[in-house]
Amino acid sequence: MNSINSQFLISMLIIVLGYLCKRLNIVKEEDGEGLARIVINVTLPCLIINTFSTLKVEPSLVKLTFINMLYGFFMMGIGLYVFRKKKRRIKGVLLMLLPAFNIGLFAYPLVQAIWGHEGVKYFGMFDLGNSFIIFGLCYIIASYFSDEAGKLDIKETAGKVFKSIPLLTYIISVVINILGVHLPKMVIDFSSVISKANMPMSLLLLGIYLSFKFDLRQFKDIASVLALRYIIGFTVGIIFFIFSPFDKMSKYTLLIGFILPTASAIIPFSIEFNYDQKFIGILSNMTILISFVLVWFIVGLTT
């Protein structure tokens, strides 16, 4: 079994373990809230520190950051139009699921297996733009549509966004990298140890929220999100791959990046703002399965 399939199998087994723990009452679904906060505020920031402490940010790769951010706003615009007639809270859930990607949890292990450290560097820059979309745009969407009054307190929301530990970690890590400042070895070693927990804990969280039951009335919403994510993402990725003047690894980053699963951070947002966590869990797991098949197909076909 090659490394890509091995990575996928391990990931799926961890998700199943989380699901079994819930089914056997070892943990309750409510316990997922505490685990989600640990993932977002502890293990993910350590993964970011560890990744950027070993990468050299190249100016030529900043384009991947901005392309990701522009794509996120583009998808939000598409979502606002497509879901314009939906009820407010439903619209908030659907919009959160469109613009962001699961890179730290899903992409890094596969990219490492396929392209090694060089690939991680490219996807790290792509993920920088993704982090602004997740902890900026998606957080604002979650906050705005959770308020039935439809009011957005710019000062309060901006304060919450820039208190986001993962976003602040990204910004600080990139600035330190660009300035050529080296973190103490103890900090890097500490973050390296903690970062290894990010993948299993995030996958366990998906398993805890995994459910095979959903209201049939939600089928249309699920199908709409999946169709928008993958049809648009695959189309945009192909356009960049064929027509852009970028280097080969940048093309692969965009082609694969735009068909990655929905961001796992959406689950903690749904907890904070009391959205439908089961619906988001179902869709998150669907996108993991679909994305793996697509990535496997693309890599096998083009490399």
Q: Is 278 exposed, middle or buried (0-12, 13-18, 19+ CB in 10 A)?
A: middle
Residue 288 pLDDT: 83
Residue 193 pLDDT: 92
Amino acid identity of residue 278, one-letter, is: K
CA dist., res. 261 & res. 291, Å (int): 6
Position 22 in a domain: no
Residue 149 pLDDT: 58
Q: How many domains, in total, are found in the chain? A: 1
Position 115 in a domain: yes
Position 79 in a domain: yes
Position 301 in a domain: no
Position 135 in a domain: yes
Residue 153 pLDDT: 63
Residue 299 pLDDT: 80
Residue 264 pLDDT: 76
Q: What is the DSSP letter of 260?
A: S
Residue 72 pLDDT: 95
Tokens 């950027």 correspond to 52
Position 303 in a domain: no
Helices (H), the chain: 3-23, 32-38, 44-53, 62-82, 88-96, 108-132, 139-146, 154-161, 165-179, 185-195, 198-208, 219-227, 233-243, 248-257, 266-272, 277-302
pTM: 0.81
Other Cβ atoms closer than 10 A to 136: 19
Instruction: Find all residues with CB under 8 Å of 116, minimum gap 6, and list them.
Output: none
Would you give per-residue pLDDT tens digits along the chain (303 residues)?
A: 566 667 667 877 888 899 899 989 898 877 887 887 888 789 888 988 887 787 777 778 889 999 999 999 999 999 999 999 898 888 999 999 999 998 876 787 778 777 877 787 898 889 889 988 988 888 888 888 886 655 666 666 666 667 778 778 888 888 888 888 888 999 999 998 998 888 788 778 878 877 767 677 778 899 999 999 999 999 999 999 999 999 999 999 999 999 999 987 787 788 878 888 878 878 888 898 898 889 888 887 766
Position 9 in a domain: yes
Which range marks the domain in which residue 223 is found? Answer: 3-15+31-210+217-294
Nearest to residue 45, comparing CAs of 265, 260, 206?
265
Amino acid identity of residue 252, one-letter, is: Y
CA dist., res. 206 & res. 19, Å (int): 8
What CATH number corresponds to the domain at position 99? Answer: 1.20.1530.20
- Say whether 11 sits in a helix, a strand or coil: helix
Position 110 in a domain: yes
Rounded alpha-carbon distances, angstroms, from residue 291 to 112, 117, 230, 243, 256: 16, 21, 9, 23, 9
